[in-house]
Amino acid sequence: MATARENILTALHARLSALPATALRGEVLPERIPSEGLLILRDGEPGEPEVTLSPLRYHYQHRAEIEAVVQGAARDAAFDTLVASIGTALDADRTLGGRCDWIEAEAPRPVDLPVEGAASLKAAVIPVILHYTTADPLA
C-alpha cells in the first residue's frame, strides 16, 4: 500500500503527464528536449510537520519541485505557454482528487542556459507546496 505522500506525488505526476510536454519523475535531464517542452517532477522535502494530538495527526507542507524546460527559437513564448498550462492543470483540482488538502505553485524564476552547438534552453524550477495530513509520518 502506497503512502499518502506517494499517492499525492503520483497524482501530481499524472496531472503533469496530461499536458502536451513530456513529464518525467525524478529523472536526469535528457540530451534532447522534446519540442513541446519537458517537465521533471522532483519529490522534494516534506519538511517538519505541525503535530496535533487527540487524535494524533501530522500536518505537512511538502515542497516538491517541477523543472520546466523548453528549447528553440521561440523559447520565451513556449516557456510562457508551458508554465500557464501547469497553472491551469493545478487549478483544475487543488486537492488532486481528494488526496491532499491543497496544492499551490510558486512563481518560477526562469533562466536562459546556453547549449554549445544548439539552441539555448529556457528553464525554471517551479516550487509546488502540497498540504496534507497523515496519522503517521511513515504512512
What confidence category does residue 100 fall into, taking pLDDT thresholds of 50, 70 and 90?
Answer: very high
pLDDT, average across residues 91-97: 97
Identify residue 15 by its one-letter amino acid code. Answer: R
- The CATH number for 4-134, chosen from 3.30.2000.10, 1.10.3720.10, 3.30.300.20, 3.90.1300.10, is 3.30.2000.10
The pairing of beta strand 57-71 with beta strand 38-45? antiparallel
What confidence category does residue 121 fall into, taking pLDDT thresholds of 50, 70 and 90?
Answer: very high
Report the C-alpha gap between 125 and 84 in whole angstroms: 14
**Taken in order 17, 20, 101, 127, is the CA torsion positive or negative?**
positive
Encode pLDDT of 80-89 as tens digits. Answer: 999 999 999 9
pLDDT, average across residues 3-19: 97
pLDDT at 31: 86
CB 134 within 8 A of CB 60: yes
